[in-house]
């Protein structure tokens, strides 16, 4: 059994050594045939320096450095693209996904499960604002896409065949958590308690999270587009009623005054049109991205590619 462990790192200089020190003995307790695919997602601190040193000492560490920050989703994709093992485990680099669960996940894989999903027992300690945003996002996402993921996480074990299936999809704008649910296969879950971050702070910026959320929803649902049609119909109806009222007033000679109505109408309809255009634009830009067919990430440096070849 060969295990590939995928870990994305972005500006995690305080965390890299610590994470690797904890993870390696755990992997070694399961099998000597492991690789760690560590992806440096364009860090600006010493993350790559530390990571490349570790890779020089340990041939099992396959280190990949992106040319810039492409985002966690891209780092996960890069990891999956390079998996050499029979199974891969995805884990955050900040130990919020407790690596102690890895042996248990592997045991479930041995029992024949293709996907083992880590499910958050609770969301861990979060800032109230972040918690509110995250929970409302998942509520909306579940409503729109029909895929319930409120406590889903990227802490996952995937069998080789799941990874091959995932690689065969050539979508560029993905939301990994949702896609894993979409893929199907024989699935089970384990519950884990989200550990507090020991070093550094969360690497998500508000804009980064916003982009991820919009991407996630538009990748999985075109319901927002349907809303526009409904909204349009509603406004058409209102316009009809107000139009009739105005005409009646006009002919009965009690007209004019109505500047308020005009202004309100302009504002409401103008707003609705702008919102709708923005929404359509989002979908079009996604089509544009897919059509361009640009790679999801660019590698700048790579150390110890294909560690398993050397192990055999
Ligand atoms: N990460 C990444 N690229 C990014 C943002 C985050 O590779 O642009 C990595 C980060 O280094 C960490 C993992 O993704 O290993 C989870 O990030 P973080 O802990 O900041 O997210 P949170 O736990 O707050 O959801
Ligand atoms: Mg984290």
Which of 94, 138, 201 has most ligand 1 atoms within 8 Å of its beta carbon, as the pocket-test mutant?
A: 94
Report the separation in Å between the CA atom of 37 and the middle of ligand 2, taken as the mean of its atom positions: 18
> Band of the pLDDT at 120, cuts 50, 70, 90?
confident
CB 42 within 8 A of CB 67: yes
Q: Which residue has the higher pLDDT, 283 or 162?
A: 162
Q: What are phi and psi of 199, to 5 degrees?
A: -130, 155
> Band of the pLDDT at 280, cuts 50, 70, 90?
confident
Is residue 13 lining ligand 1, measured as CB closer than 6 Å?
no
Task: Please tell me the number of Cα atoms within 13 Å of 156 on its side-chain side.
Answer: 23
Using CB atoms within 10 Å of the CB of residue 217, give its burial: 0 to 12 exposed, 13 to 18 middle, 19+ buried.
buried
Is 140 part of any domain?
A: no
> Do residue 228 and residue 178 come from a single domain?
no
Atom of ligand 1 nearest to the CA of 42: 3
Is 193 part of any domain?
A: yes
> Band of the pLDDT at 173, cuts 50, 70, 90?
low
Strands (E), the chain: 3-9, 34-40, 61-66, 87-90, 115-120, 152-159, 187-192, 299-303
Q: Strand 115-120 vs strand 152-159: parallel, antiparallel, or unpaired?
A: antiparallel
Report the separation in Å between the CA atom of 309 and the middle of ligand 2, taken as the mean of its atom positions: 32
> Do residue 288 and residue 301 come from a single domain?
no
Is residue 75 lining ligand 1, measured as CB closer than 6 Å?
yes
Nearest to 214, CA basis, from 132, 285, 293: 285
User: 3-class SS at 5?
Assistant: strand
Is the pLDDT reported for residue 17 higher than 70? yes
> Do residue 30 and residue 98 come from a single domain?
yes
Is residue 93 lining ligand 1, measured as CB closer than 6 Å?
yes
pLDDT tens for each residue of 184-236: 888 888 888 887 777 777 767 777 777 777 777 777 676 777 777 777 777 77
Atom of ligand 1 nearest to the CA of 39: 7
Is 215 part of any domain?
A: no
Q: Distance between CA atoms of 90 and 23, rounded to whole angstroms? A: 12
Q: Distance between CA atoms of 3 and 159, rounded to whole angstroms? A: 10
> Band of the pLDDT at 172, cuts 50, 70, 90?
low
Following CA atoms 178, 78, 82, 199 in sequence, which dihedral angle do they give, to the nearest 10 degrees? -90
Average pLDDT, rounded, for the chain: 82
Residue 267 parent element (H or E): helix 259-292
Report which DSSP code applies to 177. Answer: H
Q: What pLDDT shows up at residue 123?
A: 66
Task: Please tell me the number of Cα atoms within 13 Å of 35 on its side-chain side.
Answer: 28
Residue nearest to atom 3 of ligand 1 (CA): 72
Is the pLDDT reported for residue 87 higher than 90? yes
> Do residue 50 and residue 155 come from a single domain?
yes
Report the separation in Å between the CA atom of 196 and the middle of ligand 2, taken as the mean of its atom positions: 8
Is 218 part of any domain?
A: no
Q: Distance between CA atoms of 34 and 32, rounded to whole angstroms? A: 6
> Do residue 57 and residue 175 come from a single domain?
yes
Report the separation in Å between the CA atom of 302 and the middle of ligand 1, taken as the mean of its atom positions: 20
Residue nearest to atom 16 of ligand 1 (CA): 92
> Band of the pLDDT at 309, cuts 50, 70, 90?
confident
> Do residue 34 and residue 183 come from a single domain?
yes
CA angle 157/163/167 to nearest 5° reads 145
Is residue 202 lining ligand 1, measured as CB closer than 6 Å?
yes
Which residues fall within 8 angstroms of residue 202, CB to CB, at 6 or more apart? 130
């Amino acid at each position: 059994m060969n295990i590939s462990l995928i870990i994305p790192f972005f500006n995690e200089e305080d965390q890299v050594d610590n994470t690797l020190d904890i993870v390696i003995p755990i992997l070694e307790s399961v099998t000597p045939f492991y690789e760690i695919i560590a992806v440096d997602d364009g860090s600006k601190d010493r993350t790559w320096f530390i990571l490349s040193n570790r890779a020089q000492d340990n041939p099992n560490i396959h280190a990949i450095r992106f040319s810039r920050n492409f985002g966690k989703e891209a780092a996960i994709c890069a990891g999956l693209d390079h998996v050499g093992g029979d199974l891969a485990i995805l884990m955050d680099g900040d130990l919020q996904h407790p690596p102690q669960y890895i042996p248990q996940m592997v045991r479930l894989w041995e029992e024949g499960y293709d996907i083992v999903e880590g499910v958050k027992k609770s969301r861990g300690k979060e800032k109230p604002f972040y918690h509110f945003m995250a929970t409302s996002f998942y509520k909306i996402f579940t409503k729109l896409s029909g895929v319930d993921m409120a406590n889903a996480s990227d802490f996952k074990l995937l069998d080789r065949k799941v990874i091959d299936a995932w690689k065969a999809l050539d979508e560029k704008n993905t939301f990994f958590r949702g896609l894993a649910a979409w893929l199907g296969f024989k699935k089970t879950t384990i519950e884990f308690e989200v550990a507090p971050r020991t070093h550094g702070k969360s690497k998500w910026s508000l804009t980064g999270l916003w982009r991820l959320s919009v991407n996630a929803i538009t990748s999985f649902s075109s319901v927002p587009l349907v809303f526009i049609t409904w909204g349009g119909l509603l406004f058409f109806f209102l316009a009809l009623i107000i139009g009739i009222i105005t005409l009646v007033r006009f002919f009965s000679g009690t007209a004019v005054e109505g500047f308020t109505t005009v202004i309100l109408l302009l504002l409401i309809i103008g707003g609705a049109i702008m919102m709708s255009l923005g929404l359509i634009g989002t979908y079009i830009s996604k089509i544009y991205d897919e059509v361009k067919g640009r790679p999801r990430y660019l590698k700048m440096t790579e150390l110890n590619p294909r560690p398993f070849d050397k192990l055999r």
